[in-house]
């Protein structure tokens, strides 16, 4: 679906597309923190490909441009037009600044883009080229943004840093010359920043967009989703932005320079409970009320929240008889998500909580013990609040988990979004919610995510288990669920060199 | 906020001059920050005493190794300014970039990363120093040691030199670096500080160089035993022997630098000019020490 | 033949290159050692990139680990981490061989991996054979990295194995991550067996012990010219003659391939075998004869490396009657000039290591109805609204599990299926 359609669409239906399954296939690759971790350039190019008429210029050797065409978030859908300065031995000694200047001109001559996004690599970072200076020195008649990915500490925290650095470079550099008085501010408009750039990302924001329109506001732009330079330069037209965390430097920049307000999706205090974040009915209520407060339309916000929630609750009610009182086993890590929705709104009772910090990533190595304990406590408090008192297993082996499952006999297993083990539970004879079918839950915002979770849970209870999944031919690793022993060993080596031997 | 950088050949007295100027400016009621850009991490020693302060890179490395709490998942482990910036004599903020042990790693990269981190920690906005002094190792040997020359950092650079040929040779090389950066919006040259060292005390040689560079000699520090004594105590002369002539000379130089408005993109000397200058220095040395060897 | 020294220095490199750096070339060479492992001394980006490239080709076989260089290690140096990684990989996977490759950043920092290699050899706990190969991407491009990596294996080759086994050959220049490479190798081995020739070692798609025993072969077969540098070194060191043959796409190339090999081995070609094979090919052709009539003269462009691209151009032009408008060779090899002589007049325009932008413009201007290339050419095919037949590296958006090769006699049904189906199955507005 094109951006224009999303901008003009008033509906909230979210239908899975083949792309959603491509996304879950990409995420099932054990490279997102398990056996490898995407570098900062990958993150930067992910952002870059969300921009229109933009050419990426990698200031590095040819391998960087060749290899980074393949992006861990896009898999087999390469990034085209990846240019590079083709740094060689000579530049590592004499510097690559002049080559960069020349390449910028060549990129402009060939592609005539609106924007050239220059991205540094380890090589250019290491030789210390003063890359920012090309912004003034290059005389091409298009915008040039330079994003240097210098970083030393805290590099193991996600790959978010790459995303954040490029986003910051784009916004602050493109708006550097745009003064506040040049901007015609629109008091009813709002920016929405997207979290991860998946193919067709905009579809995930349809419901939120619809809610915003119902409140009498309109969306100035989604950032970054198929944006032109002009789109970015008109960011300050909006009165406020919905952001993930206010702590990103560009949020502060927009606030200082244009007085732009912001609404945080994940406001402080963070991780206060499992119900934290913009998920579930209350999460969305809170988000709408926060938006209402900023725009001084609390009344409209409350009204829209009530009405929309009621509509979603009505839709949900038809599924409740099939779910109420049914027991589940939640396999989770540090967030709640759809599993929490099933307990909060659908009356399902949790019998067994399996905490797996190693699912999808080697997250257990990143978190300290206190964080893990607090997560377990948050889950426990959450379940008690909703009349469940499950047995809790932390990082069990498959054998231990199976024993507990056989003992507790849940009606339904709710595995985590990043897990690749739904088939394993089905093979053991347990009905299982297929997380792939809730693809993008965490990136969708709205009341209907709860309904979708209920529909999927109901369908999972109704449909027969896949009793002989081909995947069961593969030997599963006891420690790393969802991985064969071979891949688990790769994950162990990765864990050893990246986390343990620092 | 005024930011200045000192460059010069190794051992020429950059840290001595830098710390004394910091101390003098501080006496004048200015808030001063001194950033040492040398992997040996001893630039601010005269201000902090014998105690080695933790370097920016060491702190940041240690934090990167720690495991995270839930909130820290968002931002990573926070580094407090107080962990990397320490107060020295008269409350002068001192930071040492630090770097690898000799023979390993990449010290230039260390400077880039450390200054980048200080910027991200908003060290300048938070502490609001009136003056920031960068003391940079040796020569502009690579992109890393040119970091303070980049736009938005040092407003101007001062080169410390003696009248020795090799010191002037290094100064000329530094001018080449400054000149390249000044044309890209980077720091211009504020002047030359003549620090008497080595075999020759010939001020006019240095003045002549400064003129050829298109700059000025902004200070002249003579040989003084008080400086050497203070250094042994890890002290500035301003603190060690406050009422001496040499301390006053530093005070005077500090204010001249602080009030200096004269800057330029320097014109480094061509190799032939440098060679000619070398011959002149040799001639003077022969005059002073008598003829030895076979050269004219 | 071109002198090797001509290519040792990197020439003008493209803005948007069609090939990677030497790290990728070296990785491709070493990863072909089936019981070996590759350890990258690199930050996570290079590692995840290579792992991803490999995993998308084959979900079950991606033998690549890294030393976990954090950005802070660029300041302090991290050669000790390379040793840790070698130990861990050795202990976990017990490979016969580990290639230690360094990426750009540690090479600039100056990590001393020669010393690490020595330490690893002296470490009694490490059982694998260790080879350090300097692979920083800024040194060389992909094909030069590949050539040098193959040559670096010579030091493991056992000179005692120089007692030649009769009618035994090594295949050089075979890459195990090419599209349909498994099926291709099976077919090439079958063909050689069919004429009474045994494959001794495949460089590289073989176990380490076979690489060690490579000097036993009486002939080295260089596929399309990739790896000819190794063939020359082995010729000098072990007196093994070599023959450079086209990658055996199509009937003629396959026949020529077998004839050349037999000629070098002083053997008669088994005509019965060949005629049986030809008969099978005929059956396939007969089944799609009217399509082939119809597609005769179809314009196409080929984007692929020198070794495979030239072979394919010959096949499409001389056997299917296609009009090859553009042949874009994504990377050279040391046999390039000889290879180009062989297609003189067959192809309208040949581009060698072109800039991708210029290559795409040239192909668009040529006007084509079919494109042969890799995953990277998907957009071009879409823009030109023509089918894309994947055959070159990297093909990561098609899986190849069936025994349907693109090489040898058995390749004919595969090619015919791919080509005919790609046109016939399209949706057309009437």
Chain C residues in contact with A155 by the CB 8 A cut-off are 70-72
pLDDT of residue A201: 67
- Whose tokens are 């040092």? That residue is B154
Residues 77-96 of A with CB under 8 A from C: 77-78, 80-84, 86-89, 91-92
**Which one, of A177, A163, A168, lies nearest residue A135 by Cα?**
A177
| Cβ separation A69–C20 shorter than 8 A | no
CA angle A15, A17, A20 (to 5 degrees): 110
| Six-digit token string for C401 | 């599990």
How far apart CA A261 and CA A290 sit, in angstroms, is: 11
Mean per-residue pLDDT over chain B, rounded: 89
Residue A281: pLDDT band (50, 70, 90) is very high
Rounded Cα distance between C119 and C97, Å, is 16
Please tell me the predicted confidence (pLDDT) of residue C179. 95
User: What is the distance between the alpha carbons of residues C385 and A425, in angstroms, rounded to a whole number?
Assistant: 44
Q: Please name the residues in contact with B11: beta carbons below 8 A apart, sequence gap of 6 or more.
A: none
Residue B9 bears catalytic tag: yes
Does residue B108 sit at the C interface (CB-CB below 8 Å)? Answer: no
Give the CA angle between residues C63, C65, C68 to the nearest 5°. Answer: 170
Structure confidence at residue A420 as a pLDDT band (50, 70, 90): low
Is A86 in contact with C13 (Cβ distance < 8 A)? yes
User: Which CATH number covers residue B125?
Assistant: 3.40.50.300
Q: How far apart are CA C74 and CA C153, in angstroms?
A: 29
Residue B228 lies in a domain: yes
Domain A318-485 falls under CATH 3.40.50.1980: yes
Distance in angstroms between the alpha carbons of the first and the last residue of chain B: 51
3-state helix, strand, coil in chain B (%, to 5): 45, 15, 40
Which of C75, C77, C108 is facing B113, going by the closest CB pair?
Answer: C75
Active-site option among B58, B135, B139, B241: B139
Q: Do the domain assignments include residue B273?
A: no
The reported pLDDT for the residue numbered C186 is 97
User: A-chain residues within 8 Å CB-CB of B186?
Assistant: 130, 133
Q: Which of residues 25-44 of A touch C (CB under 8 A)?
A: 29, 31, 35-42
Which chains share 3+ C-beta pairs under 8 angstroms with A? B, C
Same fold, A37-174 and A318-485: yes
How far C382 CA lies from chain A's nearest CA (Å)? 12
Gyration radius of chain A over CA positions: 24
Kindly list the residues from chain C whose CB atom is less than 8 angstroms away from the CB atom of residue B60.
Answer: 72
**Rounded distance, CA B269 to CA B139, Å?**
16
How far apart (Å, rounded) are the C-alpha atoms in residues B5 and B135?
6
DSSP A137-193: H---SSEEEEE-----SSTTSTTHHHHHHHHHHHHHHHTTT--GGGS--EEEEEEEE
Query: For residue A502, what are the CA distances in angstroms to A35, A39, A370, A495?
Result: 16, 17, 21, 10
* Chain C: partners with 3+ C-beta pairs within 8 Å: A, B
- What is the pLDDT at residue A151? 55
Q: How far is A153 from chain C (nearest CA, A)?
A: 7
Task: Enumerate the residues of chain A whose CB falls inside 8 A of the CB of residue B58.
Answer: none
User: Per the domain annotation, does B278 fall within a domain?
Assistant: no
Task: Tell me, yes or no, if B14 is annotated catalytic.
Answer: yes
- The reply to whether residue C75 touches residue B64, judged by beta carbons under 8 angstroms, is no
Q: A180-312 — its CATH code?
A: 3.40.50.1980
How much is the pLDDT for B60? 84
Per-residue pLDDT, B143: 77
Q: Which domains does chain C have, with CATH numbers?
A: 5-156 (3.40.50.1980), 159-278 (3.40.50.1980), 288-398 (3.40.50.1980)
C378 min Cα distance to partner chain A (Å): 8
- CATH class label, A37-174: alpha beta
Provide the pLDDT confidence category of residue A438 given band limits of 50, 70 and 90: confident
pLDDT at A152: 40
For chain A, give the mean pLDDT: 87
Give the minimum alpha-carbon distance from B211 to chain C in angstroms, rounded to a whole number.
38
Show the low-confidence residues of chain C (pLDDT under 70).
1-13, 161-162
- The answer for A 246-305 residues in CB contact with C (under 8 A) is none
- Residues 34 through 73 of chain B touching chain C, CB cutoff 8 Å: 57, 60-61, 64
For chain A, which residues make up each domain, given as ranges? 37-174, 180-312, 318-485
- One pLDDT digit (tens) per residue for chain B, 296 residues: 999 999 999 889 999 999 999 999 999 999 999 999 988 888 999 999 888 899 998 888 888 777 788 777 777 777 889 999 999 999 999 999 998 888 888 888 888 888 888 888 889 999 999 999 999 987 767 777 888 888 778 999 999 999 999 999 999 999 998 998 888 888 999 999 999 987 778 899 999 999 999 999 999 999 999 999 999 999 999 999 999 999 999 999 999 999 999 999 999 999 999 999 999 888 888 888 876 555 54
Q: Under a CB-based contact definition with an 8 Å cutoff, are residues A44 and A149 in contact?
A: yes
Minimal Cα–Cα distance from B62 to chain C, Å?
10
**Contacts of residue C195, Cβ cutoff 8 Å, sequence gap at least 6:** C258, C261, C262, C267, C269, C270, C273
Q: What is the mean predicted confidence (pLDDT) over A68-89?
A: 88
Task: For B64-111, write each residue's pLDDT tens digit.
Answer: 777 788 777 777 777 889 999 999 999 999 999 998 888 888 888 888
The pLDDT value given to residue A10: 44
C142, A66: Cβ pair inside 8 Å?
yes
Distance CA C324, CA C301 (A): 6
Digit-coded pLDDT (tens) for A173-218: 999 999 998 899 899 999 998 766 666 667 778 889 899 999 999 9
- Tell whether B132 is covered by a domain: yes
Is residue C11 within 8 Å of residue A86, measured between CB atoms? no
Specify the number of domains making up chain B. 1
Per-residue CA distances from A379 to A269, A419, B29, C270 (Å): 17, 19, 56, 74
Q: Is beta strand C168-172 parallel, antiparallel or unpaired with respect to C219-223?
A: parallel
Chain A nearest CA to B141, separation (Å): 11
Model ipTM value = 0.93
Instruction: Name the residue among B61, B64, B106 with its Cβ closest to that of C109.
Output: B106
Q: Is C269 exposed, middle or buried (0-12, 13-18, 19+ CB in 10 A)?
A: middle
Q: Which residue of B has its CA nearest to C80?
A: B104
pLDDT at res. A153: 41
Say if residue A1's pLDDT is above 50.
Answer: no
Q: Is B124 inside any structural domain?
A: yes
Instruction: Say if C44 is an interface residue toward chain B (CB within 8 Å).
Output: no
Q: Quick check: A47 pLDDT over 90?
A: no
Provide the token pair at C126. Answer: 């490490």
Contact A65, A98 (CB under 8 A): no
Out of A84, A123, A153, whose CB is closest to C15?
A84
Q: For residues B222 and A66, give the distance between their C-alpha atoms in angstroms, rounded to a whole number.
A: 58
pLDDT tens profile C60-73: 999 999 999 988 88
Would you say residue B296 lies in a domain?
no
In the predicted model, what is the mean pLDDT of residues A425-429? Answer: 92
A123 vs C: CB within 8 A: yes
Which of A37, A67, A125 should be substituted to probe chain C, the one whose Cβ sees the most C Cβ atoms within 10 Å?
A: A67
Q: pLDDT value at position C161?
A: 61
For residues A268-274, average pLDDT? 86
**Chain B hits for A126, Cβ within 8 Å:** 106, 109
Domain range for residue B181?
Answer: 2-268
- Tell me which chain C residues have a C-beta less than 8 angstroms from the C-beta of B106: 74-75, 77, 108-110
């Amino acid at each position: 679906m094109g951006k224009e359609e999303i901008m003009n669409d008033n509906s909230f239906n979210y239908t899975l597309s083949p792309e959603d399954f491509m996304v879950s296939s990409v995420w099932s690759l054990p490279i997102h923190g398990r056996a490898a971790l995407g570098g900062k350039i990958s993150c930067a190019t992910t952002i870059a490909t969300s921009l229109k008429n933009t050419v990426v210029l990698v200031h590095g050797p040819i391998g960087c441009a060749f290899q980074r065409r393949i992006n861990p978030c896009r898999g087999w859908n390469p990034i085209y037009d990846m240019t590079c300065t083709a740094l060689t031995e000579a530049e590592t000694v004499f510097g690559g600044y002049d080559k960069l200047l020349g390449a910028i001109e060549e990129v402009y001559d060939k592609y005539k883009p609106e924007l050239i996004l220059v991205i540094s690599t380890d090589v250019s970072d290491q030789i210390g080229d003063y890359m920012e200076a090309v912004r003034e020195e290059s005389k091409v008649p298009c915008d040039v943004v330079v994003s240097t990915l210098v970083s030393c500490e805290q590099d193991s925290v996600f790959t978010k840093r790459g995303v954040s650095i490029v986003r910051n470079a784009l916004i602050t550099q493109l708006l550097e010359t745009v003064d506040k008085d040049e901007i015609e501010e629109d008091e009813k408009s709002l920016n929405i920043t997207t979290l991860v750039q998946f193919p067709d990302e905009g579809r995930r924001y349809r419901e939120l967009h619809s809610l915003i329109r119902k409140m009498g506001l309109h969306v100035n732009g989604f950032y970054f989703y198929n944006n032109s330079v002009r789109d970015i330069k008109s960011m300050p037209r909006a009165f406020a932005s919905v952001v993930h965390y206010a702590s990103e430097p560009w949020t502060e920049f927009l606030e200082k320079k244009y007085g732009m307000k912001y609404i945080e999706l994940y406001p402080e205090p963070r991780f206060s409970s499992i119900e934290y974040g913009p998920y579930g009915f209350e999460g969305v209520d809170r988000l709408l009320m926060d938006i209402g407060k900023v725009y001084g339309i609390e009344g409209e916000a409350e009204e829209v929240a009530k009405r929309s929630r009621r509509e979603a609750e009505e839709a949900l009610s038809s599924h409740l008889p099939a779910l109420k009182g049914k027991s589940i086993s939640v396999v989770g890590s540090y967030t709640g998500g759809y599993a929490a929705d099933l307990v909060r709104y659908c009356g399902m009772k949790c019998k067994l909580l399996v905490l797996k910090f190693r699912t999808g990533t080697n997250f257990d190595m990143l978190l300290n013990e206190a964080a893990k304990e607090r997560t377990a406590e948050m889950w426990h408090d959450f379940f008690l609040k909703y009349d469940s008192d499950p047995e809790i297993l932390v990082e069990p082996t498959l054998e231990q988990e199976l024993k507990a499952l056989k003992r507790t006999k849940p009606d339904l297993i709710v595995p985590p979004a990043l897990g690749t083990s739904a088939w394993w539970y089905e093979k053991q004879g347990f009905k299982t919610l297929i997380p792939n079918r809730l693809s993008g839950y965490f990136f969708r915002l709205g009341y209907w995510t709860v309904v979708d979770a209920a529909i999927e849970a109901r369908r999972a209870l109704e449909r027969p288990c896949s009793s002989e999944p081909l995947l069961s031919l593969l030997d599963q690793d006891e420690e790393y669920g969802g991985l064969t022993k071979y891949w688990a060993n790769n994950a162990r080596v990765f864990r050893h060199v990246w986390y343990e031997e620092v | 906020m005024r930011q200045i950088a000192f460059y010069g050949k190794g051992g020429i007295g950059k840290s001595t001059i830098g710390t004394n100027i910091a101390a003098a400016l501080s006496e004048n009621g200015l808030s001063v920050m001194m950033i040492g850009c040398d992997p040996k991490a001893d630039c601010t020693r005269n201000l902090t005493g014998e105690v080695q302060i933790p370097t920016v890179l060491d702190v940041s490395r240690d934090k990167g190794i720690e495991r995270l709490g839930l909130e820290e998942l968002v931002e990573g482990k926070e580094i407090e300014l107080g962990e990397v910036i320490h107060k020295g004599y008269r409350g002068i903020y001192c930071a040492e970039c630090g770097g690898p042990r000799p023979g390993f790693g990449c010290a230039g990269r260390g400077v880039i990363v450390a200054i980048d981190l200080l910027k991200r920690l908003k060290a300048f906005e938070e502490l609001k120093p009136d003056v920031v002094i960068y003391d940079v190792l040796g020569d502009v040997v690579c992109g890393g040691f040119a970091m303070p020359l980049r736009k938005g950092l040092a407003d101007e650079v001062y080169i410390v030199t003696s009248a020795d040929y090799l010191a002037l040779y290094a100064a000329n090389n530094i001018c080449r670096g400054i000149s390249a950066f000044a044309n890209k919006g980077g720091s211009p040259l504020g002047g030359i500080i003549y620090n008497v060292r080595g075999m020759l005390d010939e001020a006019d040689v240095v003045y002549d160089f400064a003129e050829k560079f298109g700059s000025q000699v902004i200070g002249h520090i003579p040989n003084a035993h008080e400086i050497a004594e203070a250094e042994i105590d890890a002290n500035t002369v301003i603190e060690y022997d406050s009422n001496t002539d040499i301390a006053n000379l530093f005070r005077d130089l500090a204010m001249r630098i602080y009030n200096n408005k004269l800057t330029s993109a320097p014109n480094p000397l061509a190799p032939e000019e440098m060679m000619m200058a070398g011959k002149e220095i040799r001639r003077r040395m022969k005059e002073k020490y008598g003829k030895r060897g076979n050269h004219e | 033949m071109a002198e090797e020294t001509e290519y040792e220095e990197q020439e003008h490199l493209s803005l948007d290159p069609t090939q990677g750096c030497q790290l990728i070339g070296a990785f491709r060479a070493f990863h072909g050692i089936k019981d070996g492992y590759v350890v990258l001394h690199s930050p996570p980006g290079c590692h995840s990139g290579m792992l991803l490239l490999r995993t998308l080709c084959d979900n079950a076989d991606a033998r690549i680990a890294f030393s976990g260089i954090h950005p802070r290690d660029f300041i302090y140096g991290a050669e000790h981490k390379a040793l840790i990684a070698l130990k861990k990989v050795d202990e976990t996977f017990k490979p016969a061989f580990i290639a230690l490759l360094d990426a750009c950043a540690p090479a600039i920092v100056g990590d001393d991996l020669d010393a690490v290699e020595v330490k690893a050899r002296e470490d009694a706990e490490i059982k694998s054979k260790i080879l350090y190969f300097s692979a920083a991407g800024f040194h060389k491009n992909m094909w030069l990295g590949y050539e040098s990596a193959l040559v670096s294996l010579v030091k493991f080759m056992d000179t005692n194995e120089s007692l030649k086994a009769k009618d035994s050959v090594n295949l050089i220049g075979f890459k195990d991550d090419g599209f349909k490479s498994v099926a291709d190798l099976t077919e090439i081995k079958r063909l050689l067996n069919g004429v009474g020739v045994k494959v001794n070692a495949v460089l590289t798609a073989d176990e380490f012990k076979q690489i060690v025993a490579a000097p036993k072969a009486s002939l080295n077969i260089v596929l399309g010219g990739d790896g000819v540098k190794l063939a020359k070194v082995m010729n000098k060191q072990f007196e093994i003659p070599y023959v450079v043959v086209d990658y055996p796409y199509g009937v003629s190339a396959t026949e020529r391939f077998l004839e050349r090999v037999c000629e070098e081995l002083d053997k008669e070609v088994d005509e019965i075998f060949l005629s049986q094979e030809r008969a099978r090919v005929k059956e396939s052709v007969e089944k799609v004869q009217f399509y082939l009539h119809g597609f005769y003269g179809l314009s196409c462009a080929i984007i692929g490396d020198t070794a495979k691209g030239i072979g394919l151009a010959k096949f499409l032009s001389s056997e299917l009657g296609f009009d090859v408008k553009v042949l874009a060779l994504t990377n050279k090899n040391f046999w390039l000039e000889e290879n180009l002589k062989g297609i003189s007049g067959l192809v309208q325009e040949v581009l060698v290591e072109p800039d991708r932008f210029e290559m795409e413009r040239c192909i668009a201007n040529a006007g084509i109805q079919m494109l042969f290339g890799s995953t990277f050419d998907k957009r071009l095919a879409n823009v030109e609204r023509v089918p894309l037949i994947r055959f070159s590296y990297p093909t990561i958006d098609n899986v190849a599990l069936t025994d349907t090769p693109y090489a040898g006699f058995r390749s004919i049904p595969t090619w015919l299926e791919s080509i005919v189906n790609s046109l016939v199955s399209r949706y057309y507005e009437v």
